[in-house]
Amino acid sequence: MATIQEVANRAGVSKATVSRVLSGNGYVGQEKREKVLKAIAETGYRPNLLARNLATKTSQTIGLVITNTLYSGSYFTELMAHSARILEQQGRQLILADGKHTAEQEEAAIQFLLDLRCDGIIIYPRFLSIDALDAIISRHKQPILVINRRLRVNHSYCIYSDQHASSATAVSHLLNQGHREIAFITGSLDSPTGVERLSGYHAALAAQGIEADSRRIVTGKWTAQSGMAAVDQLLERRVTFSALVASNDEMAIGAIKRLTECNIAVPGQVSVIGFDDIPLAPFITPSLSSMKLPVTEMIDETINRLLNMLDGGDWHTQAPFTASLMLRDSVTKGPGRSA
């Protein structure tokens, strides 16, 4: 592998001149610059990025930690794709690290990115607790921003949507339409999002003086298959319901498929609402009503805040983002209400 000294010798310049060309810092005449670039091409020289990062104190990279169990689905595809697009526009490189399956592995992924000298890190946590995240942020100089968790200490370092309120909004709409027997498919309950959406369901019913019936609550796993299985469980329990809220659109689509296969009309007999408003939602039959989370706006806020921190500029703390109910054909009036 070629060294910087070999490049300097071939170009007939000093190592310092080669370094200035590589870093873009300091003046180098056009003739010498062209000689250096030609020598780099001829020798196949590749700079040691870690050494350069140590010298320049910046890597122009931003790390992103997401556990691999969250990679699938339109929500996370949009999150990762939009992050990459925005950072590319800013002339920075996105580096993805896998948080794998435990809090320890999530923290190891953060440390991996810190060891690579990433200028800042974004994490969408699945396993790390709020206290652990606050502690990690507090002991590192590089900014570490957290998506989808509300931190207790480092308030400026978290960007989140109120999942409890969003779920309550979906259930409240069905209640206002005359539905009283509303089934709910949770997400994985080892996920804070899954727990908060379930709590929003309970809160909306309680606000109307309705006691939640545990027979109408089924635990899902964020997949269409688990949405189908949830409907099977509801039917096996012989519990009545005129509406169903699923904690994401994939499970809602699976639920609609199984209801249709069982000759239960959607929305004629059961209205359905999902979460995330995935691109497919308007195109299934019936088109799916869904709580739309502002994913791109949250990513924009996260990256803008992170870059402002790195530049030493001012930034504001954004209030929790709110979801919007996108009403489509999968919802109609409840029993006893005219359509």
Of residues 313 and 331, more confidence is placed in 331
Chain segment 268-307, per-residue pLDDT in tens: 999 999 998 988 999 999 999 999 988 888 888 888 888 8
Confidence of residue 17 (pLDDT cuts 50, 70, 90): confident
Check residue 178 and give its pLDDT: 95
**Most confident listed range (12-21, 41-50, 54-63):** 12-21
The domains of the chain, with CATH numbers, are: 4-56 (1.10.260.40), 61-160 (3.40.50.2300), 163-293 (3.40.50.2300)
Kind of pairing, strands 182-186 and 144-147? unpaired
**Three-state secondary structure readout of the chain:** CCCHHHHHHHHCCCHHHHHHHHHCCCCCCHHHHHHHHHHHHHHCCCCCHHHHHHHHCCCCEEEEEECHHHCCCHHHHHHHHHHHHHHHHCCCEEEEEECCCCHHHHHHHHHHHHHCCCCEEEEECCCCCHHHHHHHHHCCCCCEEEECCCCCCCHHHEECECHHHHHHHHHHHHHHCCCCCEEEEECCCCCHHHHHHHHHHHHHHHHCCCCCCHHHEEECCCCHHHHHHHHHHHHHCCCCCCEEEECCHHHHHHHHHHHHHCCCCCCCCCEEEEECCCCCHHHCCCCCEEEECCHHHHHHHHHHHHHHHHHCCCCCCCCCECCEEECCCCCCCCCCCCC
Chain segment 117-130, per-residue pLDDT in tens: 898 898 989 889 99
Average pLDDT for 203-231: 95
Chain segment 175-216, per-residue pLDDT in tens: 999 999 999 999 988 888 899 999 999 999 999 999 999 999
Confidence of residue 339 (pLDDT cuts 50, 70, 90): very low
Confidence of residue 34 (pLDDT cuts 50, 70, 90): confident
Check residue 256 and give its pLDDT: 98
Q: State how far Cα 79 lies from the chain centre.
A: 5
